[in-house]
Amino acid sequence: MTPESKPLIHGIDVSHWSGNIDFHRVKEDGIEIVYIKSSEGQSLIDPHFEINYRKAKEHNLKIGFYHYVTARSKAQAKAEAEFFLSLIREKDYDCHPVMDFESFFDLDRRKINRIAKEFMETCERESGHRPMIYSDASNASAIFDRYFSRYPLWIAQYGVKEPAGNGKWLHWTGWQYTSSGRVDGIDGDTDRDYFTKEVYLTRRT
């Protein structure tokens, strides 16, 4: 599976698990894009959401936000999307908002896709921006329907030269290629990513 375009842009994704981040050192280490976890479910705000946003902005890094979905119904998916947007609406961000839906528990494939569709469509309709879907290579291939190929894909697959094809998306916009990377300014392991220029918001849909 190939990138949507080249050259590739170095990025990371962070949450409170990343600890206290020195964004000056992060930028000096060649990172250009930072995806920040904003929220989870219908009410949980990541404890470092505001400080990560403020500090990344101070150091002129390109910013995106992601939401971790826990919904078990379409109604909950809609509520989660609205909660996500309520947190980021007044923020100045550069990259497509992202749905991170990976904890399925007892949901069957049909319900997973209905929930994901509701979340993505609510985001797009109410923000005016096309969201991006984050998925590991296995779920992109076996779980998510071809319908979602209309959205940019941020794929996670480690230890490979390039992500595996999935028969739906021809190209990736983001690739999380390791969860054990190292970046100056962050203690311990860090998710590292490549992005293409298509990750940037260029117009309202």
Report the distance separating Cα 172 and Cα 123, nearest Å.
20
CB of 25 closer than 8 Å to CB of 196: no
Token reading at 88: 């980021």
Closest CA to 17 of 68, 88, 77: 68
Task: Please list the active-site residues.
Answer: 13, 102
The alpha carbon of residue 141 and the mean position of all alpha carbons in its chain are separated, in whole angstroms, by 18
Rounded to the nearest 10°, the torsion over CA 135, 42, 129, 150 is 40
In sequence order, the β-bridge partners of residue 8 are none
Rounded to whole angstroms, the maximal C-alpha distance in the chain is 45
Report the distance separating Cα 57 and Cα 75, nearest Å.
33
